[in-house]
Structure 1
Amino acid sequence: MSLFRLLPALQLFYAQFASAQTSSTSISASTPTALSNNLLPAALLEPTISPNATQISSAPQSITTIVGVSRRTVSISSNATSTSSFSPQPTNSQPCNGHVEFCNRRFSNVSMVVAHNSPFAVAHNAASNQALPVLTQLNDGIRGLQFETHILNGTVQLCHTNCNLLNAGSLEAYLELVSGWLADNPYEVIAIMMGNDARVSPTTYIQPFTAAGMLPYLYHPSVPTANLTQWPTLSEMILANKRVVVMLDYLANQDAVPWLLDEFSYQWQTPFSPTDPSFPCTEQRPPNQPDDVSRDKMYMVNHNLNIEISDLIPGVGPMLIPAYTLLDAVNAVSGNGSLGVNVEQCTSMWGRPPNWLLVDYYNYGNFNGSVFQVAAMANNVTYSQDSCCGTVLSNRAHGKFSQVPVKALFAVFSFLVFLFS
């Protein structure tokens, strides 16, 4: 194990040691937070010192973060007069998932952007759903990685519909990149949501996750399903270094693989592969779930607009491609069919913002990275618009993808010829 991976634990030890050196005779008021200050890594903590530790009835420094307050100490003199002061105590200054405000929030109380079919960023392939690779996605702020999996020659592969149409490589190779990023970013929490398109045993996924070095990061829930109040806070997950929640849509078995969560036992989704630009907020998967159950679980808005092209190819069943030329509007902060409006509508309908905002080509919108602005608004935090997106400049999606439908039809036609030849 590298020294870097031990850093949070070493920092935690330092914080506990430093705490032990403070006064042992003072009477301390309890701190009404989910985590004690002594449980936060030293790198998450920054001391706030009263300007005069001996003044009468001194007030604590303003708390600008979600953990840590000054401890009140009361001293009784021989003439029965008392003075109170506030000893220096650490307050959080290290962001969790980019924001200090998130550290004390539950995992179920943060809205995150999900890259739909994250690995499918293959240039000149109409079956792609992203323009930028996974490391760029994560660096830009993507915290949900969603994709489908297939089996090819006994290996779990990242393919879109069919490995002859788009094959983005093995799951193991993809996870190796994610594992390296997690090691370099010890204060980030992410989710991985996999589609079991081959309907294989959940134990099939143990090998690629193990070989990629992901197992130490995987969160193991204490219950087979969780409501909104049963999730840990981000800081708790960071302290335990269990910073990855992995879900499988079908055939998960948590008795056999405890870290591979049954997705629809923990969250639900709005209509999948939407073609309706109004993006309904109704619950679709799992089917027939009572509203009271849905209101107490995390949920995802599928905000990736598709166009059905099967009518253009006689004899072919339903086939969808992303609405490329509408990405600027679909991923926008405001306007008809925008992600911003969709989040507002779902928040109004369900009484809270969605946990997951699933999008195609996340880097496009009314400005590059506008999807992150929407998430920030849902989370009531600020977003820096110049922090996205990779090496992509200010190209408008409409211009970039103006010829994609033609290319897509050609690719689909070529694929069908291959299948039926």
Structure 2
Amino acid sequence: RTTICNGRADLCNRSYGNVTFIGAHDSFTFSSDPLALARTQTEDLTSQLESGVRLLQAQSHMSNGVLHFCHTSCLLFDGGTVANYLTTVKQFLDKNPNEVLTLLFTNPEGVSVSTIWDPIFNSTGMSELAYVPPSIPAKQSEWPTLSEMIQSGKRVVVFMDFNTNTSAVPYILPEFEMVWETPFDVVNSSFPCSIDRISGPLADEDHMNLLNHFLDIQFPFNITIPYEVAANTTNSVSSILNESRGCLPLNGGRNPNFILIDWVSIGNATGAANLLNSGIINGDASFRAQTFWSLAWMVMIWSWWTVLTQTSS
């Protein structure tokens, strides 16, 4: 029986659809070069995972007949082949058997999942770990617990934004049929919440949701680049909780499922996720009860100590 799931005992019996995961936006664009304007991370892939990131997002492009992860164009930022990327991820998962991970890949060129993507997943061993819901699309309430996923050996969820084919490759899931996203390339640091991308047939509240909580800075001619200087504020607990609170009416009163950020090594996004997974924001009844009794015990102990010290004096 699995007793620790994604680093916490209390998450084991929690449905995958009711957990908040921190994600690395453009996870492959790590660089220590401040002149690499397309970078959004400074930590390499393994370091991101070791820091608590449990969703990896990446954008794919073909380069000389081979599938790579690149930012807009492989001439702008080439993060290497998808095969090498997945090999690194598989190595982490092999060393950490109690972790559930989500992969979110964009496929802007519509590369075939059956002839290109599936062979890469098979060759790296990642397809063996991929979870397939009993029915697609799966409602937010229909996902198994983290413990069930870990025990089954199917603890990787793979979403793709475009040109999936679940009849041919059932484990590469259509993202927007099950997950809605907030707007991206945001330049407003208050992150007003709205549903930006979604697809049917599920109702909005039956989708999981993803907050694109990364900030850009805008220059003339509508040029935007990642706003690294503001990352400490953007990735703060208060900023993340504020956006989470703003999205509650659109998400059935639930906390967000995924929070996608730049510069995962800056700020305290994992701290925010820990609070959200403990019931902060959504008013979880069990969390309120625990908080009440904890405060009650503190008051009782303080009162007892006050009486004792006064009597002694």
TM-score range, shorter chain: 0.7 to 0.9
Residue in structure 2 matched with residue 145 of structure 1 by the alignment: 56
Aligned-pair distance for 1:347?
2.9
* 2:140 is the counterpart of 1:216: no
- Pairing of 1:281-292 with structure 2 (within 5 A): 281-286=193-198
Residue in structure 2 matched with residue 242 of structure 1 by the alignment: 154
1:194·1:247 contact (CA, 8 Å) conserved in 2?
yes
Which of the two has higher C-alpha Rg?
1
Aligned-pair distance for 1:348?
5.2
Residue in structure 2 matched with residue 259 of structure 1 by the alignment: 171
Residue in structure 1 matched with residue 88 of structure 2 by the alignment: 177
Percent of residue pairs bearing the same amino acid type: 36
* 2:228 is the counterpart of 1:327: no
Q: Deviations over 1:259-302 (max 9, x none)?
A: 10001111110112212222122111026x69x81111100011
- Pairing of 1:254-403 with structure 2 (within 5 A): 254-286=166-198, 293-311=203-221, 318-334=222-238, 338-347=239-248, 349-350=250-251, 351-365=253-267, 370-380=268-278
1:271·1:302 contact (CA, 8 Å) conserved in 2?
yes
Q: Deviations over 1:58-87 (max 9, x none)?
A: xxxxxxxxxxxxxxxxxxxxxxxxxxxxxx
Flag the structure with higher helix content: 2
TM (norm. structure 2) is 0.84
2:205·2:250 contact (CA, 8 Å) conserved in 1?
no
Distance 1:347 1:135 in 2: 32
Residue in structure 1 matched with residue 31 of structure 2 by the alignment: 122
TM (norm. structure 1) is 0.63
1:122·1:168 contact (CA, 8 Å) conserved in 2?
no
Distance 1:349 1:286 in 2: 12
Q: Which amino acid aligns with 1:229?
A: S
Q: Which amino acid aligns with 2:21?
A: M
Distance 2:94 2:109 in 1: 30
Q: Deviations over 1:343-389 (max 9, x none)?
A: 22223553011100010001112xxxx1011111111179xxxxxxx
Distance 2:56 2:206 in 1: 23
User: Which of the pair has the greater relative contact order for Cα pairs under 8 Å at 6+ separation?
Assistant: 2
1:271·1:280 contact (CA, 8 Å) conserved in 2?
no
* Residue 123 to residue 207, structure 1, CA distance change in 2 (3 Å): farther
* 2:158 is the counterpart of 1:226: no
Q: Which amino acid aligns with 1:235?
A: S
* Residue 374 to residue 201, structure 1, CA distance change in 2 (3 Å): same
Distance 2:155 2:9 in 1: 16
**SS of 1:165's equivalent?**
coil
Distance 1:153 1:210 in 2: 21
Aligned-pair distance for 1:244?
0.4
Distance 2:269 2:170 in 1: 32
Distance 2:149 2:160 in 1: 20
